[in-house]
Copies of this chain bind each other. A is one copy, B any other.
Amino acid sequence: MFSKACEYGIRASVYLARQAEKGDRASLTEIAKAIDSPVAFTAKILQLLARHEIIISYKGPTGGYEIPKEHLSGIQLSHIVKVIDGDKVYRGCGLGLKECNASKPCPLHFQFKAIRDELKEMLQSTTVQDLANELHRRPAFLKR
């Protein structure tokens, strides 16, 4: 469904969202430990998210990554997915045709598009804040 990179990216963002609620930032190693991901690979992903201003990075001691608290409710999962995996999740044909197009549809088009649109809607209506809240309401996990 999503690439590994994207899975790590979302998990890292949710972890950062939880930290943001505490007014904290987190270092690369802390994040990688919290979400059980390969450190150096996670670094690449965080750099990508930082370049796209989904998270902010700070160098030096006391540095790390951070999501400004006031951004929490504005960061949709769809933003993260788009930055990391592009928009084939939202636009791609289920049977791999070059483009998904209702006027030249594959035989699965209408069934597939219905579900793809729901996925898109879900990713757009869910923010990292929502997922951080989820971590409070019930025991939920970012690793294993």
Q: Chain A: residues with CB nearer than 8 A to chain B?
A: 1-2, 4, 7-8, 10-11, 14, 77, 89, 92, 94-98, 104-109, 111-112, 114-116, 118-119, 122, 126, 131-132, 134-135, 138-144
B residues in contact with A132, CB < 8 Å: 107
B residues in contact with A7, CB < 8 Å: 94-96
Kindly identify which residue among B122, B126, B141 contacts A104, using a CB–CB cutoff of 8 Å: B141
Copies in the complex: 2
B residues in contact with A134, CB < 8 Å: 107-108
A122:B126 contact, CB within 8 angstroms: no
Please, could you name 30 A-B residue pairs with CB atoms under 8 Å apart, sorted by A?
A1-B89, A1-B94, A1-B116, A2-B96, A4-B96, A7-B94, A7-B95, A7-B96, A10-B95, A11-B95, A11-B96, A11-B106, A14-B107, A104-B139, A104-B141, A104-B144, A105-B140, A105-B141, A106-B140, A106-B141, A107-B131, A107-B132, A107-B140, A108-B126, A111-B126, A112-B122, A115-B118, A115-B119, A115-B122, A118-B118
